[in-house]
């Protein structure tokens, strides 16, 4: 694909970078960088964490496999697509398949890459890669982590836009995955 944009600004030079503290699923690194515009030095905290994969899984009758779960950060129940951390020994595509199976018990066709985003490039280093898996059907029982409590829902693909617009689906990385799918209609033709 042709690159449509090239940055015109210079990067900020790093004067110092060092580990600050480890918090389990993420680490905090402190960096000192200098603005190329005015020479101002600043100290910034960067969250280091593993990258993530999520998956839009479609059943043969065009229902999306969604999960309902509690999210501590917002103290609310959310409706999302399956996803999670990419383990160090696996690819993002492998993680998408694993997360789908672990969280829902579903499996399907080989994953098709939709796109990748930086969840919050202001303070995080990781990426989230989104995949499409078609032909998804229940193959096994879910295998949830001790901290997970998930309900699986099948929702017609045609209903997803309404669920995003009314705020029912509000997780930015889930909305991003559906945006990638919307930009790639050829992936759904003939399926």
Domain CATH code at residue 151: 3.90.79.10
Cα 179 to chain center, whole Å?
A: 12
Query: Please, where are the H alpha helices in the chain?
Result: 92-104, 160-165, 172-183
On whether both 41 and 83 belong to a single domain, the answer is no
On whether both 38 and 119 belong to a single domain, the answer is no
> Is the residue at 2 inside a domain?
no
pTM, full prediction: 0.94
Q: Is 161 helix (H, G, I), strand (E, B) or coil?
A: helix
On whether both 106 and 123 belong to a single domain, the answer is yes
DSSP character string of 45-76: EEEEE--EEEEEEB-TTSEEEEEEEEETTTTE
pLDDT number for residue 116:
98
pLDDT tens by residue, the chain, 191 residues: 678 899 999 999 999 999 778 888 899 999 999 999 999 999 999 999 999 999 999 999 999 999 999 999 999 999 999 999 999 999 999 999 999 999 999 999 999 999 999 999 999 999 999 999 999 999 999 999 888 999 999 999 999 999 999 999 999 999 999 999 999 999 988 65
On whether both 123 and 154 belong to a single domain, the answer is yes
* Residue range(s) defining the domain that contains residue 104: 52-187
How far is it, in rounded angstroms, from Cα 183 to Cα 161? 13
Please name every residue paired with 29 in a beta bridge, in sequence order, or none if there are none.
19, 46
pLDDT number for residue 191:
59
On whether both 104 and 168 belong to a single domain, the answer is yes
pLDDT number for residue 190:
63
Judging by DSSP bridges, how do beta strands 83-85 and 52-57 pair with one another? Answer: antiparallel
């Amino acid at each position: 694909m042709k690159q449509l944009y090239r940055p015109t600004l210079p990067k900020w030079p790093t004067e110092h970078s060092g580990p600050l503290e480890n918090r389990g699923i993420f680490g905090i690194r402190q960096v000192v960088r200098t603005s190329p515009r005015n020479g101002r030095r600043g100290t910034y905290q960067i969250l280091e964490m593993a990258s993530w994969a999520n998956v839009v899984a479609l059943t043969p009758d065009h229902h999306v496999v969604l999960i309902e779960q509690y999210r501590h950060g917002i103290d609310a129940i959310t409706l999302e697509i399956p996803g999670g951390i990419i383990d160090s020994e696996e690819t993002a595509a492998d993680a998408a398949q694993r997360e789908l199976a672990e969280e829902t018990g579903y499996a399907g066709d080989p994953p098709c890459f939709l796109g990748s985003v930086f969840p919050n490039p202001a303070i995080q280093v990781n990426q989230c890669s989104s995949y499409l898996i078609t032909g998804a059907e229940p193959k096994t029982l879910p295998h949830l982590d001790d901290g997970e409590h998930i309900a699986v829902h099948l929702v017609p693909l045609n209903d997803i836009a309404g669920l995003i617009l009314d705020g029912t689906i509000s997780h930015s990385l889930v909305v991003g995955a559906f945006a990638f799918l919307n930009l790639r209609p050829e992936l759904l033709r003939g399926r």
